[in-house]
Amino acid sequence: MNNGFITVAAAIPAVRVADCQYNTDQIIAMAKQAEQQGAEIVCFPELCITGYTCQDLFREQTLLQGAQESLHRICQFTQGREITLIVGLPIEENNRLLNCAAVVRQGEVHGIVPKQFLPNYNEFYEQRWFSAENRPMLFEQDGVRFGIELCEDLWAPEPPSTRLAIAGADLIFNLSASNELIGKNAYLRSLVSQQSARLICGYIYSSAGYGESTQDVVYGGNAMIFENGQLIDSAKRFSYEPQLVVNQIDIHLLRTERRVNTTFTASQRAYEAHKHFNEATLISISTPNSAQKQDISHSSLPTPHSSLKETNFTFKRIIDPLPFIPKNDKMGESCEEIVNIQTAGLARRLDHIKAKTLLIGVSGGLDSTLALLIGVRAFDRLGLDRKGIIGVTMPGFGTTKRTHNNATTLMEALGITSREIDITASVRQHFSDIGHDESQHDVTYENCQARERTQILMDLANKENGIVLGTGDLSEMALGWATYNGDHMSMYAVNGGVPKTLVRYLVSHIANDEPNEQARNTLRDILDTPISPELLPADDKGEIAQKTEDLVGPYELHDFFLYHTLRRAETPQRIIFLAEHAFDGHDPLASRYDRDTICHWLRTFYRRFFSQQFKRSCMPDSPKVGSVSLSPRGDWRMPTDASASLWLASLDSHAS
């Protein structure tokens, strides 16, 4: 284990049917490769010691004896090694032949798991040779629990893995020999993905490949590693070479997800009522001679962050630095779905209150641009005249020519009503009223402008019998980067569920489909404009001087922190570890950050996230578009006076 990750492997050796010695040589060779790559547990295919396609040779005592001798060789190989092998072989027991998986570690067989469901239809005739056996077993290695099922077990209406996971198995290993048919692989992947997601577990699947008999069917070799429904790694099918897939499963994450998912915990309580299930065998394989039968009850389950043995290993996982951004192959589809969610939310609100007027403060920045584009879509969907959208530019002390021109040009191109109200004089009057020195560019100087703009929009909404559309995004609410009762407030916050890193992609997506060339060109220039509230005067060249990310930190880092704090409940230690790997330069879309920079801005994130909850406690309605939301009425309920000291202390202890 390292920061909650365990290294697992799915191996597909080349086999010769009924040649146990050759097959064992291949298994040991692949086990050595897996060991060199840091694998802690390796899963091999079903009946890999003999080959799956031996047919009536399974009746031969010579083959069964050869399999037993091979298992002994594999035990000898593991002696003194920190690696667990799960291999498939036929085992004779009480005059029955069982299709089994053997768990081997430190020179011992710690458990034998028989196949529970034997296929006997179409091309399968397993009941001709084997007997079925229901023998629930759970293995524990260095604080991690795993269970095993064999091929057809997964295809049953209630797979054994369901009960094993509910009993506490973090990982499920499947030894399989599934032949290839048109469309079968896609269905199989869906099946494994769904089981992994349903059980909130890691699922490691290894299926027979090259060397199995092709007399009537073909085995393509299929190795897959899933984590909570997501494919982490897989092998190339139909390879003439052995296939080894080694990767890491995040045990800490799985246990956190289970703890949060009350349906999963309710299922645990329901299954505890079944006495036969509570009599399952729990076997510790961390040390030799430790097999023991225990009652599998809720009280014996590992806690979400129970002690896990730490080992040195090479981290193999690719951590996405931009977790809110859809992947390339689904970028357009996902962006359109998000835009449709926003549009549907706003359209429903307008229809409900019978409003035909929408007020938007248009600054020429990304957030207000996205809000305006969603407003236009909602009006088009409702069949309303775009002139009912009133975009208001409110230039002040920090407004630049570039953003002002982009705002007015975009409104003209989209065919909405455009108004301009300069706030300079009114804000100066307010400075005079409250006795503020205009030369003091402090928080009062900035917030007076933000609140003046909100007052104008609210009053115009009353005058025009409309509503104010909020432009602030999810990232700003997480950091509290909004003026309380200023841009913080609106009558519907259409971007409230959209993180800052995603806003850019949504605007770009809409721009690509925009038929009006003037609007399209303006949107592209807005995409190239630095993020700024424009509350401080421009520089000597008239350019933006106040750049948000220089002050509060890079949004790509903060969105990463936000995702892993809220969605995955990660500790500061784990966030540092994950961020170091995510922002190591492997992703061309993300910047590179060193550990000191990550820790610096993570401290800023925690400090602001805790101190600014009061703004989120009274945030306006906004549509949820992804797995992370800060709505006080839905996903996130937090006391406004909660202390960040525990998080900051943990950060400090792991920062160096």
**Which DSSP string corresponds to 232-255?**
EEEPPTT-SS-EEEEEEEEHHHHH
505 part of a folded domain: yes
User: CB within 8 A of 314, min separation 6: which ones?
Assistant: 37, 38
Residue 317 lies in a domain: no
Check: CB of residue 392 under 8 Å from CB of residue 420: yes
Query: pLDDT band for position 303 (50/70/90)?
Result: very low
Q: How many domains does the chain have?
A: 2
Question: Do residues 225 and 354 share a domain?
Answer: no
pLDDT at res. 292:
46
Provide the pLDDT for residue 293.
43
Whether 270 is in a domain gets the answer yes
Burial of 267 (0-12, 13-18, 19+ CB in 10 A): middle
Mapping DSSP to helix (H, G, I), strand (E, B) and coil, where does residue 280 land? coil
**320 in Cβ contact with 582 (< 8 Å):** yes
Who wins on pLDDT, 656 or 396? 396
Q: Give the 3-state secondary structure of residue 291.
A: strand
Residue 300 has pLDDT above 50, yes or no: no
pLDDT tier at 265 (50, 70, 90 boundaries)? confident
Burial 159-194 (b: 16+ CB within 10 A, else e): bbbbbbbbbbbbbbbbbbbbbbeeeeeeebbeebbe
The mean pLDDT of 9-24, rounded to a whole number, is 96
Is 201 assigned a catalytic role?
A: no
| Per-residue pLDDT at 548 | 75
> Please, which pLDDT band fits residue 271 given cuts at 50, 70 and 90?
confident
With a pLDDT cut of 70, the percent of the chain lying above it is 93
Model pLDDT, residue 299: 37
Q: Please state the rounded mean pLDDT for residues 414-421.
A: 97
Q: Is residue 220 part of a domain?
A: yes
Q: Note down the domain range covering 402.
A: 328-655
Tokens coding 417: 């009503």
pLDDT at 536: 76
Q: Are residues 560 and 483 in the same domain?
A: yes
Catalytic residue among 43, 48, 54, 151: 151
CA distances for 547 relative to 529, 536, 592, angstroms: 10, 10, 20
**SS3 assignment for 614-638:** HHHCCCCCCCCCCCCCCCCCCCCCC
pLDDT at 240: 87
Q: Is pLDDT above 80 for 16?
A: yes
- The pTM of the full predicted model, rounded to 2 decimals, is 0.87
pLDDT at 302: 46
In the predicted structure, residue 39 carries a pLDDT above the cut 80:
yes
Asked if 151 is an active-site residue, the reply is yes
469 backbone dihedrals φ, ψ, rounded to 5°: -95, 120
More confident position, 3 or 358: 358
Q: Give the pLDDT of residue 298.
A: 36
Query: What value does the mean pLDDT take over residues 48-64?
Result: 95
The tokens for 349 are 């609100």
Pair (589, 509) in one structural domain: yes
- Is the Cβ–Cβ distance between 480 and 615 less than 8 Å? yes
Catalytic residue among 35, 54, 115, 335: 115
Mean pLDDT of 541-561: 85
The reply to whether 110 and 210 lie within a common domain is yes
For residue 301, is pLDDT > 50?
A: no
Residue 189 pLDDT exceeds 60: yes
What mean pLDDT, rounded, does the chain reach?
91
Residue 287 has pLDDT above 70, yes or no: no
> Is 319 inside any structural domain?
no
**What is the per-residue pLDDT across 593-612, written as a single tens digit (0 to 9) for each?**
999 999 999 999 999 999 99
Asked if pLDDT for residue 166 goes beyond 50, the answer is yes
Residues 295 and 332 occupy one common structural domain: no
Annotated active-site residue 463? The verdict is no
Among residues 432, 431, 433, which one has the least CA distance to residue 442? 431
Q: How many CA atoms lie within 13 A of 96 on its CB side?
A: 13
* Claim to verify: residue 280 and residue 192 sit in the same structural domain: yes
- Does the structure show a pLDDT above 70 at 107? yes
Residue written as token pair 């296929």: 119
Tokens 């990660």 belong to residue? 570
The CATH number for 189's domain is: 3.60.110.10
Assess whether 289 and 421 both reside in one domain: no
Beta bridge partners of 226: 203, 231
48 located within any domain? yes
Residue range 179-188, pLDDT digits in tens: 999 989 999 9
| CA–CA distance, 469 with 489 (Å, rounded to integer) | 9
Q: Considering 280, 299, 318, which residue would you say is the last residue of a domain?
A: 299
- Judged against a pLDDT cut of 90, whether residue 252 lies above it is answered with yes
**What are the tens digits of pLDDT across the range 515-548?**
999 999 999 999 998 887 666 777 777 776 677 7
Predicted confidence (pLDDT) at residue 36 exceeds the cutoff of 90: yes
CA distance 641 to 613: 8
Residue 100, strand partner residues = 89, 114
Residue 125 predicted with pLDDT over 80: yes
Residue 290's pLDDT is 46
Q: Is there a domain that residue 307 lies in? A: no
The neighbour count for residue 39, using CB atoms within 10 Å, is 29
Assign residue 648 the CATH number of its domain.
3.40.50.620
**What angle in degrees, to the nearest 10, is found between the helix axes of 572-582 and 555-562?**
130
Which DSSP state fits 433?
Answer: H
Same domain, 430 and 502: yes
Phi, psi of 540 (to 5 degrees): -65, -25
Answer yes or no: is 323 within a domain: no
Mean pLDDT along residues 60-76:
96
* One domain for residues 224 and 373: no
pLDDT band at 14 (very low <50, low <70, confident <90, very high): very high
E strand map for 268-311: 281-284
pLDDT band at 288 (very low <50, low <70, confident <90, very high): low
* pLDDT higher than threshold 70 for residue 273: no
pLDDT attached to residue 294: 43
| Percentage of residues in the chain having pLDDT higher than 90 | 82
The active-site residue out of 46, 140, 446, 534 is 46
Phi, psi of 359 (to 5 degrees): -105, 130
Nearest to 467 by CA among 598, 371, 324, 337: 371
Question: Do 411 and 274 reside in the same domain of the chain?
Answer: no
CA-based radius of gyration for the chain: 30
194-197, long-range: CB < 8 A, 24+ apart: 194/229, 195/154, 195/159, 195/161, 195/162, 196/172, 196/226, 196/227, 196/228, 196/229, 196/230, 197/228, 197/229
Same domain, 556 and 641: yes
Nearest-angstrom CA–CA distance, 92 and 71: 13
DSSP of 169-229: -SEEEEEE-PPP-TTHHHHHHHHHHHHHHHHTSEEEEEE--TTS--SS-----EEEEEETT
Whether 562 and 616 share a structural domain? yes
Strand partners, 206: 175, 223
Q: Is the pLDDT of residue 295 over 70?
A: no
What was the pLDDT predicted at 340? Answer: 96
